[in-house]
Each structure stands twice: as C-alpha cells, then as structure tokens.
C-alpha cells in the first residue's frame, strides 16, 4: 500500500516538474519571438554593432522602464516611442527578461 502511494506521489511530482519546465520553455520562446524585432536595430541579442544603443546586459527593470516610458511618451525618441506602442506591460516584461536572461 505504502509503495503504491509513493509511486503515485513520484508520478505527480514528475508530471508537475515536466509541466513547469514546458511552461518555462513556452515563456522563453514568446519572449524571444517578441524580442526578434529588436535585433534589426539593436543587433542580435541586443549587442548593437552601430550607433544605436546596445541593450544587452542592461538590467531587466531598466529595459522595462525605458520601453514603458517610450510607449507612454514620457521619454523622447525618434523610433522607440512608435515601436514600444505595440507592447502590453506583460510583453514588455517578457522582452526585458529575454535580454537579461
Ligand atoms: C527601427 C529601429 C529600432 C527598433 C526596431 C528597436 N529599437 Fe530600441 N532604439 C532605437 C533607437 C534609434 C534608440 C534611441 C532612442 C530613439 O531615438 O528612439 C533606441 C533606444 C532603445 C532603448 C534605450 C537604450 C538606453 O540605453 O537607454 C531601449 C531600452 C530599447 N531601444 C529597446 C528596444 C527593444 C526592447 C526593442 C524591441 C522590442 C527595440 N528597442 C526595437 C531603435 C530601434
């Protein structure tokens, strides 16, 4: 009886572990997809090759605030204000996390 309980407990724990790692993978993929559009200007992984500021290695909180400020018109910009308008708060967080992963 005890070993059957242990068996089911093990199965449940494994199922939860697997589900949560699949969910994490889905979040990473969504962040990566959203962040794809940034690479055109900011370089692959945010490591800008030119005069556009690099976003790689900046803290997620800094990136998220910058994007929200651009979006909400609190920070002046040439293109970022228009670009950032496309994203919800949740998407901005995923993008910021992607560049600081
Ligand atoms: C069309 C080119 C272009 C694209 C696409 C673009 N950016 Fe930018 N980004 C800029 C430019 C240019 C600036 C300088 C501010 C301005 O003039 O808009 C900038 C500035 C920034 C800054 C401020 C950097 C700092 O050091 O404070 C952040 C953060 C940023 N971009 C994040 C992003 C993210 C995240 C994406 C993708 C969702 C993105 N950008 C897509 C051109 C772009």
Considering only the top CATH level, what class is 2-99? mainly alpha
Give the up-direction half-sphere exposure of residue 22: CA atoms within 13 A in the CB hemisphere: 6
Q: What is the per-residue pLDDT across 4-43, written as a single tens digit (0 to 9) for each?
A: 677 665 665 556 455 565 556 665 579 999 999 999 999 9
pTM: 0.80
Q: Enter the DSSP assignment of 86.
A: T
Burial class (CB in 10 A: 0-12, 13-18, 19+), 54: middle
How much of the chain is helix, strand and coil, in % rounded to 5?
Answer: 70, 0, 30
Output the pLDDT for position 83. Answer: 96
Q: Who has greater pLDDT, 53 or 7?
A: 53
In the predicted model, is pLDDT for residue 46 greater than 90? yes
Which residue's CA lies nearest to atom 26 of ligand 1?
53
CB under 8 Å to 100, separation ≥6 — which residues?
57, 58, 59, 60, 63
Q: Where are the domains of the chain?
A: 2-99
Ligand 1 site residues, Cβ closer than 6 angstroms: 37-38, 40-42, 52-53, 55, 63, 66-67, 77-80, 83, 95
Average pLDDT along the chain = 85
One-character DSSP codes across 53-77: PP-TTS-HHHHHHHHHHHHTTSS--
Q: Who has greater pLDDT, 74 or 45?
A: 74
């Amino acid at each position: 009886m005890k070993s059957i309980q242990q068996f089911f407990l093990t199965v449940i724990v494994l199922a939860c572990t697997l589900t949560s790692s699949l969910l994490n993978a889905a979040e990473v993929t969504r962040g990566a997809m959203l962040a794809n559009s940034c690479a055109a200007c900011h370089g692959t992984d945010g490591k800008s090759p030119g005069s556009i500021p690099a976003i790689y290695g900046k803290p997620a909180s800094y990136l998220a605030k910058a994007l929200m400020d651009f979006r909400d018109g609190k920070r002046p910009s040439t293109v970022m204000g228009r670009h950032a308008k496309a994203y919800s708060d949740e998407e901005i967080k995923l993008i910021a996390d992607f560049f600081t992963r």
